[in-house]
Amino acid sequence: MLAWAGEQAGLRTGDEYGNVDIVAGSPADGARRPGRANPSGSDELQAALSAVARGDEAAFAVVYDRAASAVLGTVRRILRDPAQSEEVMQEVLLEVWRTAARFDPAAGSAGAWITMLAHRRAVDRVRSEQRAAQRESRSAVAAEVGYDEVAEAVEASLDRERVRRCLDSLTELQRESVTLAYYGGYSYREVAQLLGVAVGTVKTRMRDGLIRLRDCLGVD
Amino acid sequence: MGERRTGLHALVGAYVLDAVEDGDRAKFERHLLTCEQCRDDVRGMREAALRLAAAAAITPRPELRQSTLQAATVIRQLPPAVAGERTPALRGGRWLAVRGRVRPWLAGVAACLAVVLAVAAVVLGVHAGAMQQRLTAQEQHDRTMTVVLGAHDAVVLTAAVKTGGNATVVMSHRARALVFTASGLARLPDVMAYELWLTGPAGVTPAGMLPPGRHGMSGPMVVGGLTRGEQLELTVEPATGSRQPTSAPIARLVLGD
C-alpha cells in the first residue's frame, strides 16, 4: 500500500508545531486551532497574493516563504526526481507571480490555488513525459516507503498529524484511491488497474474519500 | 442522457485530484459552468487537497529562494481578467484548460520564460550593461532572439546544472535558433568561464562563451544555425575559451527533432 505523506516523509512528532504556512498562520499567531485553517494565516497569504498581483516583489517573497515547501513536496511526490522537482517548483512559483492577478478568492483559498497549480503541473509533466515504460518503474517506487526523503529537511506540522488521522478515517479503498491519485499522480483509470477494481468504483471512492477528508479536516 | 450527467458528477473527486485525462477534464469543466453544487464541491475538496499538499511539504534548498525571487523581477505579469468575462468559480479551471493542450505545461512555461528571457535581455543588455556600443554590435543577436521568443513553435527546455543552478533554453526549430539563459550558476574564478557547445553527428562546435552573470542570471545567449539531432552542452573552460571542451559537460539539453 502506498504510504501517505506523514509516514513517507518521516514524520517527527517532536516538532509537530513546526509550521506549514500555506495552510496556517505564522508561528507568531497565538490563536491557532488544531485542524482548522487559521483564518489570519490564510488571509495573510491571500493578502500577499493580491499585493503580488500589483507587482509587489516583497509580497512575492512572502508567498514564496509560505508556499514553496508545500509546492516542492507535492511536486516531488509525483515526479520523484529531486532536480526536476526543484525546477517545477520554481516554475510554479513563477507562474504564481505571473498570473497572480487572475487568482479569484471566490473560487477558493490562495493556498488551494497555488497547490492546485503545482499538482496539475507535476501531473501534466509526468503524463507528457513518461508513458508506459517509466510508469512501470514508478509504480514499483511508489510502493516503497521512505526512500531518501527522511534525510530531507522536512517540515512537520500540526496539519500533518491531522491529515494522518483523517486519512485513517477513510475506508481503505477511499484512502488508496485518493493517495494514489494525489501523491502518485495516477489517473483514475490507472488507479483502477493498480487496485484491480472497476473504473466507476474508483471515481466514486475518490469523490467520497475527498468529501470525508474535507469534513474531517473541517475545511470549507 | 441522464447517465452521462451522473457520470460527470461522479468525476468531481477525480477532477480535483487531477486524475482525469484531458478529454474528461474539459468535459467536466464545461459541466462546472452550469453546476453550482459541483463548484461548491470542487472548492471544498480543493481545500482538503491543500492539506494533503501541506502534509507533504519539503523545505527547498535555500538558494532556490533567491533565484526564484530574482527571476520574478524580470517577468511581466498578466493583467487582471476583464470584468466582463468574470466567471468566478471557474477562473482557475479555465486558465488551466488553456494549458491543457498537447504539451500543456510547455505552453505555459514557454509563455512565461519567453517573457523572462525577453526582459532579461533588456535588463542585462541595456539597463545593467548600459553599453551602447556593445548593444549596437548585438543587433543581429537581438533580432534573432526576438524571432525565437516570438516563434509559434517555440519550446522550452530546462536542465539542472551539475555544479549548481538551472539552464533554460527557448528554441524554435523553424528559426533553427535558441536562446539560452541560466540562473544561479556557481561563481567561477576570473580565469574561468562557462562555454556552450553544440554536439551532434558533425562533432563538437563552440557555441559561445557565457558572459559573467548578473544578479544570479546568466545570458541570454543566442545560438543559431542548429541542425537536427544536436545537443547543447555547458562546460567550464579557461576564460579565453576553448576550441574543444576541456572538461566534462555540467549540463546537457537534447534539442530534439
pLDDT tens for each residue of A165-192: 999 999 999 999 999 999 999 999 999 9
Write the ipTM: 0.79
Inform me whether the pLDDT recorded for A28 exceeds 50.
no
Interface of A with B in 140-159 (CB under 8 A): 149, 152-155, 157, 159
Inform me whether the pLDDT recorded for A34 exceeds 50.
no
Q: Of A195, A103, A169, nearest to B48 (Cα)?
A: A169
pLDDT class of A16 with cuts at 50, 70, 90: very low
More confident residue, B59 or A156: B59
Instruction: Report the gap between the CA of A47 and the closest CA in chain B (Å).
Output: 16
Relative to beta strand B177-183, strand B192-200 is unpaired
Contact flag A97-B77 (C-beta cutoff 8 Å): yes
Amino acid at B240: T
Helix axes A199-217, B36-55, angle to 10 degrees: 70
pLDDT class of B101 with cuts at 50, 70, 90: very low
| DSSP-assigned letter for residue A35 | T
A146: left (phi > 0), else alpha (psi -120 to 50), else beta?
Answer: left
Inform me whether the pLDDT recorded for B3 exceeds 50.
no
Average pLDDT, chain B: 76
The secondary element (H helix, E strand) that includes residue B223 is strand B217-223
Among residues of chain A, what percentage have pLDDT more than 90?
A: 54
What's the pLDDT score for residue B97? 32
Contacts of B116 in chain A (CB under 8 A): 94
What's the pLDDT score for residue B113? 58
A-B Cβ pairs (cutoff 8 Å, strict): 274
pLDDT, tens only, A134-143? 544 544 444 3
- Strand pairing partners for B168? B158, B181
Length of chain A: 220
Inform me whether the pLDDT recorded for B12 exceeds 50.
yes
Cβ–Cβ < 8 Å for B87, B94 = yes
pLDDT class of B177 with cuts at 50, 70, 90: confident
Helix axes B91-99, A110-129, angle to 10 degrees: 20
More confident residue, B119 or B179: B179
For B2-36, b/e burial (b = at least 16 CB within 10 A) is eeeeeebbbbbbbbbbbbbeeebbebbbebbeebe
What's the pLDDT score for residue A1? 42
Grid cell for residue A142: 511508489
Contacts of B57 in chain A (CB under 8 A): 9, 20, 22, 69-70, 72-73, 154-155, 157
Interface of A with B in 13-42 (CB under 8 A): 20, 22-23, 37
- Strand pairing partners for B177? B172
What's the pLDDT score for residue B111? 53
pTM of the predicted protein model: 0.59
Contacts of B59 in chain A (CB under 8 A): 69, 72, 152-155
Among residues of chain B, what percentage have pLDDT more than 70?
A: 72
Residue B17 has its nearest CB partner, among A70, A206, A220, at A206
Contact flag A61-B69 (C-beta cutoff 8 Å): yes
What's the pLDDT score for residue B215? 76
User: In B62-103, where does DSSP find H-type helix?
Assistant: 62-72, 91-99
What's the pLDDT score for residue B196? 94
Cβ–Cβ < 8 Å for B253, B159 = yes
Inform me whether the pLDDT recorded for A36 exceeds 90.
no
Contact flag B54-A108 (C-beta cutoff 8 Å): no
Average pLDDT, chain A: 77
pLDDT class of A73 with cuts at 50, 70, 90: very high
The answer to whether the Cα torsion of B123, B115, A78, B51 is positive or negative is positive
* C-alpha–C-alpha distance, residues A157 and A69, integer Å: 12
Residue A99 has its nearest CB partner, among B53, B57, B78, at B78
Contacts of B61 in chain A (CB under 8 A): 86
User: In chain A, where does DSSP find H-type helix?
Assistant: 5-8, 39-53, 57-79, 82-99, 110-129, 132-143, 158-168, 172-182, 188-195, 199-217
